[in-house]
Structure 1
Amino acid sequence: MTEQTFVSYAELILDQLADDPGRTVLTTDDGQRIPAGELHDSVLRMAAEMADRGIERGSTVAVFTGNRPEGLSARYAANLLGARVAFLYEGMAPATLATIVESIEADLLLVDPDAGEAGDALVDRLRNRGEGAADRPAAPAVLSFGPSPLAEDLTACAARHPVRRSPGAARPEDDWSIRFTGGTTGIPKGIRMAHGPYRDLCLRAADRDAPPRLLVCTSIAHMAGILADATLLAGGQVVLRRAFDPGDVLTAVERERITDVFLLPPLLYRVLDALDQDGPAARTDTSSLRRLIYAGCPASPTRLRQAAGMLGPVLHGWYGQSEAGWISEALPHEHAVTGHAGQITVGRAIPGVEIAVRDEDGRDLPLGEVGEVYVRSAQAMSGYWKRPELTAQVLRADGWLRTGDAGYLDEAGYLFLVDRLKEMIIVVGGHVYPTELEDVLLTHPAVAHCAVFGVRRSDESEEVHAAVVPAPGHRLDDELTKDIGAFVTARMGAMYAPAALHAVDSIPLTDVGKPDKKLLRARAGTGAGAVR
């Protein structure tokens, strides 16, 4: 692959859109159906407007938006020009978002006009932050995806340009994006992802027997955006929802004859709960589903078996990380492959990926022994944004990347994850992996949802806590707490029995949709809602 012949994923999507300009490729939350030709032209017009404003190869464009078509158009336009795109996540504090924009020295900030107070606060902080500070980068130019008092309307400005396509400026080694890890304090880590590996990832994910119809009900700044790219490359259609709601997901699946959907496990559980209750949702026709992808955090084997029973053989478990890319896949029939403690496998390495399990000194462990999962893949990040020391700790010179996950391999090459190493709870008698305990708790009839986490005591030792959403008809009182403790002890041993249970109405999620154990840990420190 030479610089002269490289064709980026954005160019491939434009080619696909141009092939049949009249077909619908996007459906918005309000029912608007956007044809391929309109999306194609919007990308080129936005690229022309950005180029007029100085965006070029090596520039950085920050994007703060929900699930709207303009968010996809603008990303493709910026990448076509060779600019990197930095995603800003809804749910992060404005101060954190402003720090991120400043740290990447963004040239342009694109804001959703429906961002509300969060958008207002972000723009205000950026415009006022550097006043009088010579050591701070200049605030980026700001444009909005529609009429807004915050900034000029990018869509209106772009509409003045003719539709004219020029060769893409990106090279395979250039960053196509910077994805920031979630965080509630400090500056999240910026993960640099290169064009060449990303194009190849999209092409692999787009290799389908028939064009898919993808439902996007989680943020396009995350996994759903990658699947949207693959769907458009495959000649399919993307149905956008502004936010996740289990009833709305089921309605959309039936009405739009959805074939593909991505859900984080906690969101999948809410869909299953909706299907399991009396009412219209329970009668939803889900027969169009061909692929329900779950990923992002550990999934309960109990709930996965429930999903397979309700939805049929459509579950695809993907394991990956922003740092490492797509690592492995568990196909529907492979959900019968289980490990030592009943875990369902996360599958085998996809082509081009190597997996190893190693001890604390980096030595390969025998099959079946738990250690840290290492990955070597062309999809691995280029590094953390302007953090070479941290990059060296994670990405070794020989290409092997430390995932921070604990797991083991079996004789057939199946990988089983135990938990995140940093989530492991060290108690007297051994190590408690929250994921294993969560799955046992979910088999108790009084537990609807749960999240297990460690709490450090004044003597620096740790104890096991669990946040529990009681099942309908149950209340977390002293009697139920004792019963759950005995239930766990009988099945796993005394060291796994929670020292305290915390009754909650729902498990709080981070801005990327994972259980927010930092928040639960902080709440536990106050003793609120704890039953011992």
Structure 2
Amino acid sequence: MAHGNSGPRNLRWRRFTPLHEGVRVPDPSIWAGSYGPGVPLHLEYGDETLVDQLENTIGRFGDRPALEFLGRSTSYTEFGDQVARAAEGLRGLGVRAGDHVALLMPTCPQHLVAFHAVLRLGATAVEHNPLYTTGELKKPFADHQAKVALVWDKAVKTIAPILRDPQMALQTVVTLDMTQDLPLAKRLALRLPVAKARATREEMTAAAPGFPKFADLVKAAPLDPAHPRPGADDVALLLYTSGTSGTPKGVPLLHRNVVANCAQGVAWVPELKYGQERWLSSLPMFHAYGLTVGLLCGIRAGAELVLLPKPDTALMVDALKRREPTFVPGVPPIYRRILEEAKRRGVSMQSMRFSISGAMALPAELVQEWQSATGGSLVEGYGLTETAPLVIGNPMNQPRPGSIGVPVPDTLVRIVDPENPGQEVPLGERGELVVKGPQVFGGYRDRPEETAEVLDADGWFRTGDIVTMAEDGYISVVDRIKEVVIVGGFNVYPSEVEEVLRSHPSVQEAAVVGVPDEDGHDEVVAAVVAAEAQSIDQDALGAFLREELTRYKVPRRFVPVEKLPVNPMGKVLRREVADLVKKS
């Protein structure tokens, strides 16, 4: 194996570089020796913002395709012009530097334009899942108090109660019609009085009379280039994560954090050809992985972003046939579905040179099948919302099955005793992963106590994952301290589901856990104690939860139990719950 930053391979974990009194960190050369050819150990970041990143790419590749959406192409110069016009339109609505602007949209060109327009004004983009229910959105909206929301027209009914709520700051909802991003021929076809066209139209758009349209914002004159710009230490992005508490916590990411992660992600693949790659971007923008790796890294590389509103199998293989993407960020189920559908349709996969998987474990047999079909690489990486997200990845030229890889440039890691995070564990032993780097956030929004639980004064972030490290720096996840369940790459927080379950009159108590299915992927299962004189109706509970929660959060099974296993303090023992439901 060749090494871009070769160092002594026999360095031991106990070789440390002093950082500050009481804490020592490993010499990064322990993992730099496992880097791929040409990957640097350190990068220069400066004070670049995401606004600068886009403008730099426009300056280099203005005539190149930037966005492709179901057959319609937009150049980088056109993209930049739309951003400037949308920024002026938002300024006319009163958006100012430091404001929060909520975005609830699928992945599409207008979403990318809106995101960068918000940033150009020095405001913060607050990304939300457009499929969330009103109940799921109330707490984050009460926290960030956005006055303006840019909303997919199909989600207007969901956001309307928040707009009418006097306790909320929301004053203006601008609607987005995703069909406006389609080629003219497809827009006309959607108007045909046939069942298929009607079904597609109803899936993509809905009437939203009385609300201003995003398409009209983009008709504004471009923003004055002299308008003040954001700085690297301004908050670019606010995402929400619930952790084990079930209460949404805002994760502010500075321009500096996200730009650093884009630079790290692109540097991780030195074989990229700037201005020539094509990114298959099917992951949602409300997820840090989908936003940073799935889109913003591509912009930094001057790539064409082949955008899909959702990771639909047919749409992905259509895009493969139409644009031959070269870089494919995803999660294991996406790769499996592409393999099966491309084989069924006889579509070549040879264009896909680089693929990086995250959010859940990547099976070794899937890697072999993918690499055999594409001739390219499929590697597993690791990240968290609080780290923008990428912190660890497998080198493209030397992935190790079962491992999440080694720390990316300028990222330090320690493996510590979870009960005593100031104490490192010996090499090869299990411990909690703590990380530090330019991509790590500075703390939860208005949550100093919860910030102090995971982030120390020197910037070390506790991930909540139990890992081991090999002598050459490769890290493997062996357990999770956090009780989050990962379904299809998305986090499901048990306490959130349990809170809704307990509100049903037939339920006295509930505990939600993740249980591996036949493919080894987690599915959500609930152990339920029935209320007095009540019984558990699987269908009724499922229907009730689907009214309150996004579908992927709803348990696949409800297992009736007489009582939940608890410790002497009354805390539910989730491992025992998992054993209980597995036997049912």
- On whether the aligned pair clears a TM of 0.5, the verdict is yes
Select 2:67's aligned residue among 13, 21, 26: 26
* 1:60 alignment partner in structure 2: 100
- Match for residue 277 of structure 2? 212
Partner SS, residue 178 of structure 1: strand
Letter paired with 2:322: R
- Check 1:264–1:530 CA distance in 2 against 1; reply closer, same or farther (3 A cut): same
Q: Provide Cα deviations, 1:171-210, integer angstroms capped at 9, x if missing partner.
A: 2221101111268995422111011122222233344334
Conserved 8 A contact 1:42-1:73: yes
Matched, 1:357 2:415: yes
CA deviations over 1:225-275 (Å, ceiling 9, x no partner):
223222122221011111112233223123201001111123223333435
Q: Is the 8 A contact 2:252 2:445 kept in 1?
A: yes
Q: Give the CA deviation at 1:19.
A: 4.3
Residues 1:200 and 1:451: Cα distance change in structure 2 (over 3 Å): closer
SS at structure 1 position matched to 2:425: coil
Instruction: List per-residue Cα deviations over 1:143-168 (Å, max 9, x = no partner).
Output: 12358425211331331314642355
CA contact (8 A) 2:132 2:550 kept: no
**Structure 1 pair 111–285 and aligned structure 2 pair: CA distance change class (3 A):** same
**2-structure distance, mates of 1:106, 1:323:** 21
Matched, 1:239 2:306: yes
Which residue number in structure 2 is paired with residue 405 of structure 1?
Answer: 465
Deviation at 1:530, TM superposition (A): 8.0
Give the superposed CA RMSD: 3.3
* 1:77 has 2:108 as partner: no
- The verdict on how the C-alpha distance between 1:406 and 1:269 changes in structure 2, with shifts beyond 3 A counting, is farther
Match runs of 1:3-42 below 5 Å? 6-29=47-70, 31-42=71-82
Whether 2:224 is the aligned partner of 1:157: answer no
Q: Which of the numbers 170, 183, 193 marks the counterpart of 1:139?
A: 170
Aligned to 1:488: none
Residue range with higher mean Cα deviation, 168-177 or 368-377: 168-177
Residue matched to 1:524: 559
Aligned residue runs from structure 1 range 398-437, under 5 A = 398-423=458-483
| Amino acid in the other structure paired with 2:156 | G
CA contact (8 A) 1:14 1:40 kept: yes
Does 1 or 2 have the higher relative contact order (CA < 8 Å, sep 6+)? Answer: 2
Give 5+ residue unaligned stretches, structure 2.
Answer: 1-45, 178-206, 486-512, 530-545, 563-580
CA contact (8 A) 1:92 1:184 kept: no
| Separation of aligned partners in 2, 1:424 and 1:56 | 36
Partner of 1:391: 451
Equivalents in 2 of 1:224, 1:394: separation in Å? 24
After TM superposition, the structure 1 stretch with the greater mean CA deviation from structure 2, 13-22 or 258-267, is 13-22
- Matched with 1:451 is 522
Residues 183/91 of structure 1: CA separation in 2 closer, same or farther (3 Å cut): farther
Contact 2:119/2:125, CA 8 A, preserved across alignment: yes
Aligned to 2:477, the other structure's residue is in SS state: strand
Instruction: Give the CA deviation at 1:284.
Output: 1.9
In the other structure, the counterpart of 2:318 is 251
Residue type matched to 2:158 in 1? Answer: A
2:350–2:373 CA contact under 8 A, matched in 1: no
CA contact (8 A) 2:244 2:483 kept: no
Q: CA deviation at 1:531?
A: 7.2
How many Å separate the matches in 2 of 1:93 and 1:512? 7
State how far apart, in whole Å, the 2-side matches of 1:524 and 1:20 are: 56
Are positions 1:299 and 2:362 aligned together?
A: yes
Q: Name the CA shift for 1:183/1:241 in 2 (closer, same or farther; >3 Å).
A: farther
Structure 2 letter corresponding to 1:346: I
In the alignment, is residue 221 of structure 1 matched against residue 286 of structure 2? yes
Q: What is the distance in 2 between the residues matched to 1:68 and 1:192?
A: 23
Which residue in 1 is equivalent to 2:493? Answer: none
Q: What is the CA–CA distance in structure 2 between the aligned matches of 1:19 and 1:392, rounded to whole Å?
A: 43
- SS of the aligned residue for 2:457 comes to coil
Aligned match of 1:316 in 369, 379, 382?
Answer: 379
Q: Distance in 2 between matches of 1:187 and 1:457?
A: 21
Q: Distance in 2 between matches of 1:20 and 1:350?
A: 27
Could you say which residue in structure 2 is the equivalent of 1:188?
248
Partner Cα distance (1:376, 1:409) in 2: 16
Q: 1:289: how far off?
A: 0.7
Counterpart in the other structure of 1:128: 164
Q: CA deviation at 1:295?
A: 0.4
Please list every run of 5 or more consecutive structure 1 residues that lacks an aligned counterpart in the other structure. 131-135, 339-343, 426-433, 442-446, 459-507
Contact 2:67 2:75 in 1 (8 A): yes
Aligned counterpart for 2:145 among listed residues 83, 97, 105: 105
Establish whether residue 271 from structure 1 lines up as the match of residue 271 from structure 2: no
- Secondary structure (helix, strand or coil) at the match of 2:51 reads helix
Which residue of the partner structure matches residue 184 of structure 2? none
Residue aligning to 1:45: 85
8 Å contact kept, 1:254–1:288: no
Q: Distance in 2 between matches of 1:128 and 1:185?
A: 28
Residue in 1 aligned with 2:404? 346
Distance change >3 Å, CA 138–CA 456, structure 1 → 2: closer
**Once the two structures are aligned, what percentage of the paired residues are identical?**
23
In 1, distance between residues paired with 2:431 and 2:368?
27
Aligned equivalents of 2:236, 2:445: Cα separation in 1: 13
Q: CA deviation at 1:421?
A: 2.0
**Following TM superposition, by how much is the alpha carbon of 1:55 offset from its aligned partner in structure 2, in angstroms?**
1.6
Paired amino acid for 1:523? F
The verdict on how the C-alpha distance between 1:152 and 1:183 changes in structure 2, with shifts beyond 3 A counting, is farther
d(CA) in 2 for partners of 1:452, 1:186? 18
Question: Structure 1-normalised TM-score?
Answer: 0.75
Indicate conservation of the 8 Å contact 1:18/1:40, yes or no.
no
Alpha carbons of structure 1 residues 526 and 300: separation in structure 2 relative to 1, 3 Å: farther
| Contact residue 404 and residue 420 of structure 1 kept, 8 A | yes
SS in 2 for 1:523: strand
- Which residue identity is paired with 1:361? N
Is this contact kept in 2: 1:11–1:168, CA < 8 A?
no
Give the 3 Å change call, closer, same or farther, for CA 511–41 of structure 1 in structure 2.
farther
Contact between 1:8 and 1:168, CA under 8 Å: does it hold in 2? no
Task: Give the secondary-structure state (helix, strand or coil) at the position aligned to 1:121.
Answer: helix
- For 2:474 and 2:243, locate their aligned partners in 1 and report how far apart those are by CA, in whole Å: 31
Partners in 2 of 1:251 and 1:101 — Cα distance?
37
Counterpart residue type for residue 380 of structure 1? V
Local SS of the residue matching 2:398: helix
Report the Cα offset of residue 424 of structure 1. Answer: 10
State the alpha-carbon separation in 1 of the partners of residues 473 and 462 from structure 2: 18
> Greater shift after overlay, 203-212 or 357-366?
203-212
8 Å CA contact 1:11–1:80 kept in 2: the answer is no
The CA distance in 2 between the partners of 1:511 and 1:332, in whole Å, is 37
Residues 1:327 and 2:387 are matched in the alignment: no
Q: CA deviation at 1:349?
A: 0.7
Matched, 1:288 2:351: yes
